[in-house]
A and B are shown apart, each in its own frame.
Chain A
């Protein structure tokens, strides 16, 4: 990469040894990725590392080194959700012991480190920082130093910002220096679609299964999705944004999708139309049968495949306000139809602290609480992804959670039936 005088000086230690190592990391990263220069970050950051897992020693050690060197991040940042919430996601004594003393023993220390380095607000822990209630919402063309695969793919695709699939640590380093290497999804040519995905289903596909199918097929490709606007319409309203949030998250966890375009919907697809498709793209046709096959092939990791589920997580990625309201309506109606007042299984809805605050002002909040459901701002993945919770028969409507834990995936309609006692989950 060609560096400016100031960048070279930092690399040579003008701002101390730690800043030099941070710059060296970004420069090596950029050099190997084919970047020609560093470009300024133009919006707040978002970090994927929000968890004080004791075994991630390099994270805490480097944070201490940064703090000891007196370094503050040039751009403040939000971070992924916290791993524990004993008030709303109850744990027994053994679980608490394992979580607080062993698994997440560094949580308090790490949150203090984040605040010292540049966390925007003490409550800024969510994977959906881009939602309006949270307010870390980049505009089209903004250059970001973000990680969290679901947030990166949303920022690129739905908001038209520019961000690579950065790793934890690299996300922080870009915000500290205030610059990122210019390669990959920061460049026009790499934002063109090299896949055309034709949606040929009879109804709107389940977002999480569609995203999963796309991710598995295209890997790190950029898909241009045709035929989805037939079901979603041509407006990026809250419902459509929530659909694309969930679809994108699944495509990023079952593949490495960092950017997708949806014909007539997402900003660059509207701006450039089919001209954004590269010559000779690969093609993928998605039919009802194709998606059913993907769904049928999800492995079930429960020891007892017929176990009755004891816990349900809804909200990975965190739910939007519109989704919380929609789930409340669906469950309320379903409970009435089945002459039930309470959900059949302990159910946790997860959303950001800011969206929860907005939801609490709506009458649906009390309706949902009355069903026995709990609302939390934890990361369900962090809660389930450990030896103790991993043994529980947990169900979810999140493909991302299914991918990284032993939780069993069900589509939304099945989840409603299970929660209302109409269908036995197993």
Chain B
């Protein structure tokens, strides 16, 4: 039977149920979020041409599942800004240890924007191999993530 419950480390906790969008490759924060943010759009549509997993997908309010973030060191400020704009994914679930840029973004969003964005890391490779875009996920404040249904 396939495992459907995973436990990670809480970076910024909370309880949430929502829909997953999965990036199997490192998510380029600037390339993914910039287009919608620069247009002052009401929601983010993934704009990274090099990442077919998220390109063209709505990310606002979704649970973004990823290994780490990559790319420009504006990454943290980009996360902070989309949180300030209120168009951020509701949660970031990292299979690996969170990278310094995403970590900065989550902390900046919490301290300076009082954003409720959830972040959990170290969920493991199994998590990213199991979860699929469109899955319903339940996140608990202790860092537990359940795939509720396909």
Contacts and interface: CB of A to CB of B under 8 A. Distances in A.
Contacts of A55: 37-38, 40, 81, 85
Given A58-B112, A301-B49, A33 B71 contact: no
Contact of A166 (B30, B38, B100): B100
A64 to B, nearest CB: 12
B149 interface: no
Interface string A149-161: 1001000000000
A385 interface: yes
Interface string B95-109: 000111101110110
A49 B7 CA distance: 36
Which size bracket describes the interface of A in this complex?
35 or more
B145 interface: no
Given A165-B100, A404-B34, A148 B111 contact: no
Interface string A38-73: 000000000011000101111100100000000000
B74 interface: yes
Nearest to B110: A28
Interface string B58-83: 00000000011111111111001100
Contacts of A62: 112
B84 interface: yes
A202 B14 CA distance: 54
B113 interface: yes
A254 B50 contact: yes
Interface residues of B, number: 40
B133 interface: no
Contacts, number: 129
Contacts of B73: 48, 147-149, 152, 165-168, 171
Interface string B103-143: 11101101111000000000000000000000000000000
Contacts of B111: 21, 24-25, 28
Contact of B98 (A32, A152, A169): A32
A252 B28 CA distance: 11
Contacts of B69: 256
Given A149-B73, A299-B50, A169 B108 contact: yes
Contact of B100 (A21, A33, A56, A169): A33
A33 B103 contact: yes
B146 interface: no
A231 interface: no
Nearest to B81: A56
Given A256-B99, A299-B50, A404-B34, A59 B77 contact: yes
Interface string A252-283: 11111000000000000000000000000000
A392 to B, nearest CB: 16
A29 B104 contact: yes
B35 to A, nearest CB: 8
A5 to B, nearest CB: 23
B143 to A, nearest CB: 13
B72 A253 contact: yes
Given A103-B38, A165-B101, A256-B99, 20 more contacts: A28-B110, A29-B103, A33-B100, A48-B74, A55-B81, A58-B80, A58-B108, A59-B81, A149-B71, A152-B73, A166-B100, A167-B73, A167-B75, A167-B104, A168-B73, A215-B70, A219-B70, A220-B26, A255-B26, A256-B70
21 contacts: A25-B111, A32-B107, A55-B81, A55-B85, A58-B108, A103-B38, A166-B100, A167-B108, A169-B76, A169-B77, A169-B104, A171-B73, A219-B68, A220-B26, A220-B99, A255-B26, A255-B70, A256-B26, A299-B49, A404-B30, A404-B72
